[in-house]
Amino acid sequence: MTAETPEEPGGFDAGTPGRHCLDAMDRPDEGTLTDFEAARITVRLGAIANNYKTVQRLAGTAAAAAVVKADAYGTGLAPVARQLVAQGCDTFFVARLEEGVALRPLAPGARIFVLDGAQPDMVPALITHSLTPVLNSLAEVAAWSAAATATRTRLDAAVHIDTGMNRLGMTTAELGTLAAEHGKRLEGLRLVLVMSHLACSDDPASAMNRTQLDRFRTALAMLPPAPASLAASGGVLLGKAYAFDMVRPGLALYGANPHPCEPSQFAVAVQVTSKILQVRPCVKGDTVGYGASFRAKRPTMLAVTGLGYADGLLRALSNKGAAAVAGVRVPVAGRVSMDLVTLDVTDVPMPLVPGMDVEFVGDTVTLEEVAAAAGTISYEILTSLSGRASRRYEDMP
């Protein structure tokens, strides 16, 4: 029985802040490590800063917040948050309570919105760490209002209106109740934001965008005046009508294209590379990898690289993905395994040797191309990046 089987799952830890290596000086004991890194994730903080500025330009007079949930989309919360704070970003969105708690010391003067809301067990920590919940139901409004009464303070709150996602957010019926009884329901609360979320902002031609825009405007007219936010990354590209008072970019900050059908306006911020471990020939008819799913149709040169699904290269890229060697695109040959992936490098015109770099995501192979080959979206590619691969951060603030 082999140590790895074709049925092995592809799940892994997406990493946590503090696990990522910043540079050689931050290594705990240089003498215990080598200079050889089989897999590396490079995060270009300067590109993230430039992408934030691009969003600011596109948003016009609207403020630009930053979504840093899921460990800043897999790029590393601490260095990314510090870079954004250095660019003047003073408003952040996270999903989980623990993300907000981790972010607070990194952005001590910022407003931090927690998208999960204010479940009763979350209330003490929300107050302790000065986090602002995004209230998704009348029950959460009641819980947060009760907390304001109990602490004899006035608490900031955001209200999330569902305009067509049918995910989190107040229903039409709840909106009607809140609008009719807002004086009582919002007692002790300071309404600092009313928000909603677009379902189809990645498709500029979708009629759903206009439908949700109209529904959001109707909701705003029913509620007490407050700053409003509808657009995340895709919505920013839909135009000024969607910007309102604040936009909430996430994906665009990390270099992905929110409108894959159009040229990207955002700089590449993440590069995933690996080293060639072995170069080997195979004859016509030879197979490669688990399940023998690749069979050479000609005399073939293969390069085995030190990257696998444990590092974030999705197993769905087996026989579908591509990489770049010396700027030449080459296909994945066979299945992606836990620690290795094999490439067909027959058409690379230069000699290849162990130790050479191979790009799997970056300047030549885009996030959108990788996502399309894997049958998924750029969000999953980014947030699947593992903590095992070495991390390097360029352009530290």
**Which residues participate in catalysis according to the annotation?**
69, 290
Task: Write out the E strands in the chain.
Answer: 39-44, 63-64, 66-67, 91-94, 111-114, 132-135, 155-160, 189-195, 228-229, 246-247, 270-282, 287-288, 294-295, 300-305, 322-325, 328-331, 341-344, 357-361, 390-394
Q: Which two tokens stand for residue 285?
A: 């008819």
Strands 63-64 and 357-361: unpaired
- What phi and psi values does residue 114 have, to the nearest 5 degrees? -110, 110
Helix or strand or coil: residue 170?
Answer: strand
d(CA 23, CA 104): 24
Helix or strand or coil: residue 396?
Answer: coil
Residue 321 DSSP code: -
- The structure tokens 């957010």 sit at 169
Cβ atoms of 185 and 193 closer than 8 Å: no
Amino acid at 365: V
Q: Which two tokens stand for residue 345?
A: 């490098």
**CA torsion angle 304 305 311 313 (round to 10):** -70
- Give the count of beta carbons closer than 10 Å to the beta carbon of residue 90: 14
d(CA 140, CA 176): 16
Residue 142 DSSP code: H
Task: List the 132-135 sheet strands across, edge first.
Answer: 63-64, 246-247, 228-229, 189-195, 155-160, 132-135, 111-114, 91-94, 66-67
Cβ atoms of 117 and 97 closer than 8 Å: no
